[in-house]
Structure 1
């Protein structure tokens, strides 16, 4: 591939279109995959960060390839294959945030922003004046026969929620044992609260989590004390080095903060994910509210006691705070940029041609680092060769293979290159929120994310239990490819297939595994297994063939 750097003063997108239109002299899957990944992972694409020239070049590249393959534009606007949406590029705490608690006796407690509480960047904004309810962990889990909202009217209220889940140290907990389940994330709880009619959510750290983090700092301090004592013994005249004593002071300060933590503004993410205001309030402040709101003889009346009783009984404990309200203003400033999913369609033919299989991969990455980077403080280009230039290369190979056949597939295939995945699956979320083809006609979704590091012939396929037919179809498709496939039943995960699974669309996510270069500047083209990408694409072609020709798969929940 030529033209990886563009001279100053030349329109970048126009020049890119000329460069990428050059066809290879020898056409082979390996050469096409190599050229695609080399271009998308080149420094000139600036890590394909949101709002950069590089991600626009990547979108133009994909659109041109779709056109060469012969796909139809599918976007709902006259903008060709581009389905535009807004994406948040910067989020800051706004001016004049206020929060005041009023108790049943008329007492008022003003909370201080950045001292007692913080709004969370993923929440909504506006004025609030609401009654308050404690809703435990804010979880409704039918599989565990647990519902914090059972018997609680949350409509029009601010609900106080503990982070995480009950019985966190119990491997026998029905909520995924000692690990967090799908019910634990901030947005999951916020969305459920909003469904219950809540007008705001107040998160606070559960005492179990605070205790665990304090114990971790105790271990660090004990280890440092041993180092300090050893240095004193080695040089009794000079004593412990100042740097060690200063570090101990820092550790003590961090330990004290964990006793009553205040989360960062962007701790739950930067992009808006919920319409209602979301706040984080220190546990000590919540305890003051409980003490003011509850009758003198009411027990339990602290977060620690509430958590202990919920854990001991395994039953929710939710209630309104009588006569209590919070009022204030939540202000968050957001800067946005336009992003685009790139969509193409290969029309099917036959009685099921109006049904759709979505084949997707995201094309954005983390740019110069910052949010999402595993290299804190780095401002180097994160080229994202595996994540996810490899997925786009595989998607294009599947599209080309199917489009070059003389007969159309039995079902229509939509090819979707998503933007905004690294910011929270935003492109795929936009697709399912306003689908170009109704979701009730979408029979399955295949997702390529990080398929460029095939090692020991092993491919991971997530979501295999989201349709009962998937196991057999995977085996049938693999007879022609011969990969060692690790089947993972769970249909949810941190990639674009999860947006479809949440809408009850059967999904498969093809993945060659994490590595040390993940989300770091070192995820570069030379480390890719080009032949491996070609083989993963060949497996996907077989899967599409199986799904397109068979009875429609029905979504099924994964039995945890």
Structure 2
């Protein structure tokens, strides 16, 4: 079948459930290359102990990039990095902060409390200084720490935060469906937004109050990062940053405000309305970290299949998966390697399987496909953020992003979940593809976790690129109750823990099933006449 015939047939059928037999045969042939065995072979290597958790700037980082590049090159893909290279170097600053003066709170009457890291709180430096500190800094409760003019919501009410520390709640208001999308978490609910907003207002620090419901994971996930090196893109002159960023447990937060004569539940109740005003806790806080700073070499690995259409060939769909994880860290049961098998050796394996399938097409697509294995996602989406700021393709020519971060390791499902369901026209496309395959596309059931803002597709959305991110479904074809229970236990027991290790007993048939669905979505997108669009009124629509 010629490329032009394939393109024409796909254009006719892009929004219909029924594909012409000739087009269906091309997709069927391509997806035969997406197998559980292929995904498992890549996953097993990337998650092996010998890669030491693929920490940024480590030997495991280098080996991962070499492996991915070798696979791309062996498939006959073209390099898509700067100047015809396979890699886009990402300049990263590493800051390892060690607490040298523990967190102490002092009330106006002289009473004081001391807290222990990481039992009660965590800290990491927000500046590349040898020493960072809060010294006799006033503590101010700022509610959710949100300023959203379009919602007529301002938690700051003009308070001067210069030199002060903000104590804020995680998440965003969720009780009113007409505010902040109800139970669906927006970027306002992300801890990163709260740090950024307070820094813009001159604060020296922020303490985010952890609760498992508001974070979506237990405090042990936060504790794991204490004392570990944190990574940043280079700071710009004049950039406002916090001296120290912090989380604390709910119990520690209760003790902090009680020292100043306040009740945390009462404060949180008042913060649920627009009328809330910042509360001076009547407590000052002190903490100091001594920081080791270094420059690190890492890179995004980029490959492409060039498009062949005279008008559309310069446009591209970028498929991303982050290959990094946490490297070595605090031992748990004598294991200090954070392998990141599911998060995200699995997604990188799926990316490589997609690349294999796309290189099997009888002719290249109309638009280009860029496969981007990005670095430093676990450090704040740094690899994809750097690419978005320094794209190898003009941003307006990147028509879509499909991101892979964690795949289905529990077995085939009737359904598949979509993060950001309804945000752009890729939802309708994915729904069409799912129905054609006898499956059901569902909205992400965990809308309160803000997953759309927690992986690399967010970096593309921030420059206006419609993005899609699929997660494993819950309607398992076999042993549904057991597999749902095992899947649910992952976040509480394995997420960002040394126990996230590859197990050859994983059922990767579900991973292959979902990757095949993604393959069809990808092929339809690169062949369509019109690019995807943000839904009217979506928060990212104006960026396009």
TM superposition score category, shorter chain reference: 0.5 to 0.7
Aligned to 2:299, the other structure's residue is in SS state: strand
Aligned to 2:396, the other structure's residue is in SS state: helix
Pairwise mapping of residues 216-365 of structure 1 onto structure 2 (< 5 A)? 266=225, 271=230, 275-278=241-244, 302=262, 307=267, 310-311=270-271, 314-318=274-278, 331-334=290-293, 337-348=296-307, 349-365=309-325
* 1:123–1:278 contact (8 Å) kept in structure 2: yes
**Are 2:351 and 1:395 equivalent residues in the alignment?**
yes
Q: Which of the residues 194, 200, 213 maps onto 2:199?
A: 194
CA distance in 2 between partners of 1:142 and 1:148 (Å): 11
CA distance in 2 between partners of 1:331 and 1:113 (Å): 18
Aligned to 1:388, the other structure's residue is in SS state: helix
Q: Which residue of 1 aligns with 2:152?
A: 145
Aligned to 2:452, the other structure's residue is in SS state: coil
Q: Which residue of 1 aligns with 2:7?
A: none
Deviation string for 1:389-445 (max 9, x for gaps)? Answer: 332232223223333435432322221112223344332233224333343332221
Q: Which residue of 1 aligns with 2:188?
A: 183
- Unaligned 5+ segments in structure 2 are 1-31, 233-239, 474-486, 540-544
* 2:403–2:469 contact (8 Å) kept in structure 1: yes
In structure 2, relative to structure 1, the CA distance for the partners of 1:481 and 1:393 (3 Å cut) is farther
In structure 2, relative to structure 1, the CA distance for the partners of 1:507 and 1:80 (3 Å cut) is closer
Deviation string for 1:520-556 (max 9, x for gaps)? Answer: 5464252344444333332222212222224222334
CA distance in 2 between partners of 1:337 and 1:152 (Å): 38
In structure 2, relative to structure 1, the CA distance for the partners of 1:487 and 1:150 (3 Å cut) is same
Deviation string for 1:119-138 (max 9, x for gaps)? Answer: 82052255789996946221
Pairwise mapping of residues 151-550 of structure 1 onto structure 2 (< 5 A)? 151-152=158-159, 156=162, 158=164, 160-164=166-170, 174=179, 182-195=187-200, 197-203=201-207, 205=209, 266=225, 271=230, 275-278=241-244, 302=262, 307=267, 310-311=270-271, 314-318=274-278, 331-334=290-293, 337-348=296-307, 349-367=309-327, 370=330, 376-379=332-335, 383-453=339-409, 454-467=411-424, 469-478=425-434, 481-488=437-444, 492-512=452-472, 514=487, 516=489, 518-519=494-495, 521=499, 523-548=501-526, 549-550=528-529
Q: Which residue of 2 aligns with 1:254?
A: none
CA distance in 2 between partners of 1:421 and 1:508 (Å): 17
CA distance in 2 between partners of 1:493 and 1:166 (Å): 13
CA distance in 2 between partners of 1:60 and 1:386 (Å): 20
Deviation string for 1:320-358 (max 9, x for gaps)? Answer: 999x99999764334564322211122223323333311
Q: Which residue of 2 aligns with 1:120?
A: 123
Deviation at 1:109, TM superposition (A): 11
The structure whose RCO (Cα within 8 Å, separation 6+) is larger is: 2
* 1:362–1:418 contact (8 Å) kept in structure 2: yes
Deviation at 1:39, TM superposition (A): 2.9
* 2:97–2:290 contact (8 Å) kept in structure 1: no
TM-score, normalized by length of structure 1?
Answer: 0.65
CA distance in 2 between partners of 1:328 and 1:478 (Å): 52
Q: Which residue of 1 aligns with 2:71?
A: 65
Q: Bigger CA drift: 123-132 or 449-458?
A: 123-132
CA distance in 1 between partners of 2:518 and 2:38 (Å): 17
TM-score, normalized by length of structure 2?
Answer: 0.67
CA distance in 2 between partners of 1:484 and 1:119 (Å): 41
Bigger radius of gyration, 1 or 2? 1
Q: Bigger CA drift: 79-88 or 542-551?
A: 79-88
Q: Which has the higher strand share?
A: 2
CA distance in 2 between partners of 1:408 and 1:510 (Å): 25
* 2:204–2:242 contact (8 Å) kept in structure 1: yes
In structure 2, relative to structure 1, the CA distance for the partners of 1:143 and 1:482 (3 Å cut) is farther
Q: Which of the residues 43, 48, 57 maps onto 2:54?
A: 48
- Unaligned 5+ segments in structure 1 are 1-26, 214-257, 291-300
* 1:122–1:270 contact (8 Å) kept in structure 2: no
Deviation string for 1:262-294 (max 9, x for gaps)? Answer: x97956986256832135597676788x8xxxx
CA distance in 1 between partners of 2:164 and 2:348 (Å): 43
CA distance in 1 between partners of 2:281 and 2:337 (Å): 51
* 1:50–1:364 contact (8 Å) kept in structure 2: yes
In structure 2, relative to structure 1, the CA distance for the partners of 1:338 and 1:166 (3 Å cut) is closer
Deviation at 1:359, TM superposition (A): 0.3
